[in-house]
Structure 1
Amino acid sequence: MNVELRYLRALVAVVDSQTFTDAAIALGTSQAAISRSVAALERALGLRILQRTTRNVTPTPAGERIIEHARRVLDEVALLERAAQDQGGELRVSYAWSALGRRTVALQRKWEELHPAVRLIWVQSNAPTGGLANGGVDAAVVRRPLVLGRPDFTAAATRTAAYLERIHWTDGTLLAFSTYAVGYISRPVGGIIFGRLGDEIGRKKILVITLMLIGVATFLIGLLPTYDNIGVIAPAILVFLRFAQGVGVGGEWGGAVLLSSEFGDPNRRGFWASAAQIGPPAGNLMANGALAVLTLTLSEQAFLDYGWRIAFLISALLVAFGLWIRLKLEDTPIFKAMEARGDKPKAPIREVLTTQRRPLIAAMLSRIGPDVTYALCTVFTLTYGIQELGFDRGQVLVAVLIGSALQLFTMPLAGAISDRINRRLVYGIAAVAAAVWAYLFFIVLEGRSPVMLIVGTVLGLLCHSFMYGPQAAFVVEQFSPRLRSTGSSLAYTFAGIIGGAIAPFMFTLLLSTFHSWVPVAMYLSVACLLTLVGLALGRDSNVAEDEEYLQASDEPAEAVAR
């Protein structure tokens, strides 16, 4: 979220004049510029501030609080500009570590953007307000915004930065991560619907249906009207489309894993099943690559106006290509054997819940550690690195992209190694490594070295690869062939809720509550511990089960031929 002072000035001018036209005249700019500033502020805060009618503009109930704060910020900025001249362009601000911690770096950068001519000096103190009495500092930051010093002086821009940073880190980031979680929460719906159908009508048909669902929802996001056009209906439709995407993904995973693993040699299931696992890093690379191209070729305003839609609309080409491939595929030998034997389950969900409880729990728990590790490496690291440590967005993004690129190779490698060594052992070692890595990662980041940021992120994604690569094969192997689609889909999607869906939210909540990375690392450690419990409950690969199943299905056919 990027809230600028010009947005606040535009908002206050519109409220005072009650029309966008008069506000534009008062600020000496265009009506379109005023409208864009207010719209940008509403998007950044995730709420509607103004109610527009044909004659005038009035604040919404939620907007009144924002407008009140905007006035206070602008008043303090005006005081700051006068006070900074009297103080020789230097401000001394005392702070408590428990209140800001390392966030002073991010606040310093925001300060420099707002007031490059005024030098800000941070003074760490266990009693930050103590220096106000003797004039040692000009202001002090405690748990709440600034405790101001002399009545003729205020560090208003620091208060502005702290407020905007707090909105971004707590409210704005939690809102963004909650929207991100919608795609995870809807996945069990897809797992229930399509996982069951995968054991009843076949793996191939499910892959075709789910790809169409994901593709249509993604394409429609590119056509979605904006908040300015249809108001609150726009984000509601967006959430619905994200929900539809999640349903498709939840149903697709089981079919994709089974198609790749059941066509391959059962003795190399870890390698073949890992083909479906490279989707997240591959998608991460493609999405950020498309974003980079659009950012370089379009202006910021053009990107905001229409450029962001291009990637969503182009996805239709990928969907068409995927459908062309999937329609040419046959169903897997295992499903054909089920059909030949008449052994398709009639109530697969009930069977899994009554006869496969331990495999279901084992598969679900095994997924939590990898999900939380990936969320920390690719989602939370972006926010933490930028907001807490002061890295440029490009620096953090490069680290994530390098790690994602390497995962295209390390995931199949991990799957292949798990075929030669006990799969649960490989998985478990990686879970322990991830739990230890979290603490080391945050410690080395204290130095704010871009090189160590890359090294730490790559190592974290390497730990993830050696869990996520063998994961598909491990989950599939927990269930009998006739219940694999249902069992795998239920385990994968429901575990996603308690793993990947809430992880970014919990990371942000823990950091904003305790102002320390230690609870975040502990959260990951607990997730990895749950994965170890799941591995202990699970079973090793049973290749003979597949071979016997296929052989038994061939015998009736051979008898008919004779």
Structure 2
Amino acid sequence: MEPNVRAVPETDPRQLRWVAAASGVGTTVEWYDYFIFSTAAALIFGSQFFSSLSPASGTLAAFATLGVGFLARPLGGVLWGHWGDRIGRKRMLIASLMLMGVATVGVGLLPTYGQIGVWAPILLVLLRLLQGLSAGGEWGGAALMAVEHAPPDKRGMYGSASQIGVPAGLILAQGMFFLMSNVVTTAQFAAWGWRIPFLFSIVLVGVGLFVRLKVEESPVFRALRDEQARSQVPVVDVFRERGRELLLASTSFIANTAIGYVFLAYLLSYGTSVLKLSRNLLLIVIIVGSVSWLISIVASAMWSDRVGRKPVYLIGSVLMVVWAVPFFVLFDTKRPIWLLVAVIVLTVGLGLTFGPQSALFAGMFEPRYRYSGASISYAVGAVVGGGFAPLIATALYSATGTSLSVSLYMVVVGLISLAAVVAIREPRTSV
């Protein structure tokens, strides 16, 4: 029997602010670590770790390494979800942050192919797998901590704290690479400059841990523990009792993560290698798009508190489908103003689906297996949609010679997720 979460005392305002900060800062650090890998895969990993291949093949190999991390995310979702439902949200959030920090600093210290040969790409893949394990459980815990602490009429708004970590982490990652690209020479960047963003992660992890250690455990989990209502095998229970919700939640997230990784990982490679645009210009465009993404996340989450999660999610899903073709048409003009228009509209669509997601997913699963349900849904949607999106986009353009093929790929994944969103029922469970 579920605990009566409405009877759980509301979190005091001061602690609620710490909870929002812990979710936002922690996920920002996590996604900064994750995105510097994505950026480096587009810019430098091909020459550093796959130098025995041609430049084009090296880029494909680097993007494949990026995808490997996604393969570990469902396993991370299962592991973190199980223990998050068994021993608490807070402990798993601290563990995920530490694991991500260790893996990211490890990449920054990793010798290149020229130094240790084939061990370089092997170790790169192993470190990426650790990043994937961490990311698989990070989002679910951060989202639930924010939503389960929040008052009923502000769960969308507070749930967005975990969501803004994605564009905020991207802004930090792109900003660091922009800084390094402009303070060192091209040769210095290739030799050691690319490592600095990875090593800087240790500072951010320290900040994230400081904030998370000050946060109290979720009141919903405390109620589960006090009433001895925790599931013994939450992963089994959620598959048995909420299989439909798992399928729909996972599928609804495919387009967001696929199109998101086309924006944040493929676009940089496409713009520099195909359109011959400057790296600085593209980094600025991506940073502007990330700011637009962040703002639209917060705005759409607050909107969802008034009109419901599904309507907002649905509007964003439609926008991503209809904008897929105009996006590349505008981008291929190579004119800065149209580059900005292309990414701003696209990221508004991403934000409209991402903003209400924490509260939507939390409400789809009962508290005793909520961490497992939310984490597995998020991780599976991420691996199916985003895991190999940059690789697929690169391969499609190489095979067809036109960005229209990438647009059609975006339309297909968009329609798949749109169908799932239509089928989702507004959550009936109280958080």
SS at match of 2:402: coil
Taking the TM superposition and a 5 Å limit, the aligned residue runs for 1:373-384 are 373-384=259-270
Post-superposition offset of 1:526: 1.7
2:369 maps to 1:365: no
**Cα 1:520/1:48, change in 2 over 3 Å:** closer
Supply the distance in 2 between the matched residues of 1:234 and 1:352 (Cα, whole angstroms).
39
**Cα 1:47/1:296, change in 2 over 3 Å:** closer
Q: Match of 1:99?
A: none
Q: Match of 1:530?
A: 416
**Is 1:378–1:400's contact at 8 Å kept on the other side of the alignment?**
yes
**Is 2:46–2:62's contact at 8 Å kept on the other side of the alignment?**
no
Taking the TM superposition and a 5 Å limit, the aligned residue runs for 1:125-144 are none
2:158 maps to 1:272: yes
Aligned match of 2:359 in 459, 473, 480?
473
**Cα 1:271/1:286, change in 2 over 3 Å:** same
Post-superposition offset of 1:41: 12
Post-superposition offset of 1:485: 0.1
Post-superposition offset of 1:413: 0.7
Aligned match of 1:298 in 184, 208, 212?
184
Aligned match of 2:47 in 33, 43, 46?
43
Post-superposition offset of 1:409: 1.8
Aligned match of 1:216 in 75, 82, 102?
102
| TM-score calculated relative to the size of structure 2 | 0.85
What letter corresponds to residue 517 of structure 1 in structure 2? S
Q: Match of 2:35?
A: none
Supply the distance in 2 between the matched residues of 1:492 and 1:188 (Cα, whole angstroms).
8
2:113 maps to 1:246: no
What letter corresponds to residue 507 of structure 1 in structure 2? A
Supply the distance in 2 between the matched residues of 1:477 and 1:225 (Cα, whole angstroms).
45
**Is 1:270–1:416's contact at 8 Å kept on the other side of the alignment?**
yes
**Is 1:431–1:467's contact at 8 Å kept on the other side of the alignment?**
yes
Cα deviations by residue, 1:224-270 (Å, 9 ceiling, x for unpaired): 22323322112211111111011011111110000111111132221
Cα deviations by residue, 1:156-206 (Å, 9 ceiling, x for unpaired): xxxxxxxxxxx544x233212111112211111111111111100000000
Post-superposition offset of 1:402: 0.5
Aligned match of 2:304 in 383, 396, 418?
418
Which 10-residue stretch deviates more, 511-520 or 403-412?
511-520
Q: Match of 2:11?
A: none
Which 10-residue stretch deviates more, 203-212 or 373-382?
373-382
Post-superposition offset of 1:44: 6.4
**Is 1:258–1:485's contact at 8 Å kept on the other side of the alignment?**
yes
**Cα 1:514/1:539, change in 2 over 3 Å:** same
Q: Match of 2:40?
A: none
What is the root-mean-square deviation in Å for CA atoms of aligned residues?
A: 2.0
**Cα 1:514/1:225, change in 2 over 3 Å:** closer
Cα deviations by residue, 1:380-418 (Å, 9 ceiling, x for unpaired): 222333333332222222211111122222211111111
Supply the distance in 2 between the matched residues of 1:304 and 1:464 (Cα, whole angstroms).
32
Q: Match of 1:335?
A: 221
Which 10-residue stretch deviates more, 359-368 or 262-271?
262-271
Post-superposition offset of 1:475: 1.6
Aligned match of 1:201 in 87, 105, 111?
87
Aligned match of 1:182 in 35, 50, 68?
68
**Cα 1:280/1:488, change in 2 over 3 Å:** same
Cα deviations by residue, 1:118-166 (Å, 9 ceiling, x for unpaired): xxxxxxxxxxxxxxxxxxxxxxxxxxxxxxxxxxxxxxxxxxxxxxxxx
2:271 maps to 1:385: yes
SS at match of 1:385: helix
Q: Match of 1:434?
A: 320
Supply the distance in 1 between the matched residues of 2:49 and 2:172 (Cα, whole angstroms).
28
Q: Match of 1:326?
A: 212
**Is 1:358–1:537's contact at 8 Å kept on the other side of the alignment?**
no
**Is 1:478–1:538's contact at 8 Å kept on the other side of the alignment?**
no
What letter corresponds to residue 385 of structure 2 in structure 1? G
What letter corresponds to residue 401 of structure 1 in structure 2? I
Aligned match of 1:513 in 399, 423, 428?
399
Gap runs ≥5 in structure 1: 1-39, 50-166, 547-562
**Cα 1:48/1:379, change in 2 over 3 Å:** closer
SS at match of 1:542: coil
Bigger RCO of structures 1 and 2 (CA < 8 A, at least 6 apart): 2
What letter corresponds to residue 387 of structure 1 in structure 2? S
What letter corresponds to residue 460 of structure 1 in structure 2? L
Query: Identity rate of aligned residues, in percent?
Result: 36
SS at match of 2:253: helix
Which 10-residue stretch deviates more, 197-206 or 517-526?
517-526
Aligned match of 1:399 in 260, 279, 285?
285
**Is 2:247–2:377's contact at 8 Å kept on the other side of the alignment?**
yes
Post-superposition offset of 1:474: 1.5
What letter corresponds to residue 46 of structure 1 in structure 2? F
**Is 1:222–1:309's contact at 8 Å kept on the other side of the alignment?**
yes
**Is 2:49–2:121's contact at 8 Å kept on the other side of the alignment?**
no
**Cα 1:381/1:42, change in 2 over 3 Å:** closer
**Cα 1:275/1:328, change in 2 over 3 Å:** same
Q: Match of 1:57?
A: none
Post-superposition offset of 1:45: 8.4
What letter corresponds to residue 400 of structure 1 in structure 2? I
What letter corresponds to residue 326 of structure 1 in structure 2? R
Supply the distance in 2 between the matched residues of 1:202 and 1:450 (Cα, whole angstroms).
47
**Cα 1:168/1:304, change in 2 over 3 Å:** closer
Which structure features the higher share of strand residues? 1
**Is 1:379–1:504's contact at 8 Å kept on the other side of the alignment?**
yes
Post-superposition offset of 1:301: 3.1
SS at match of 1:390: coil
What letter corresponds to residue 273 of structure 1 in structure 2? G
Aligned match of 1:456 in 319, 324, 342?
342
**Is 2:245–2:364's contact at 8 Å kept on the other side of the alignment?**
yes
SS at match of 1:189: helix
Supply the distance in 1 between the matched residues of 2:46 and 2:345 (Cα, whole angstroms).
39
The structure having more radius of gyration, on CA atoms, is 1
Which 10-residue stretch deviates more, 310-319 or 388-397?
388-397
Supply the distance in 1 between the matched residues of 2:267 and 2:426 (Cα, whole angstroms).
34
Which structure features the higher share of helix residues? 2
Q: Match of 2:371?
A: 485
Post-superposition offset of 1:331: 0.6
What letter corresponds to residue 253 of structure 1 in structure 2? W
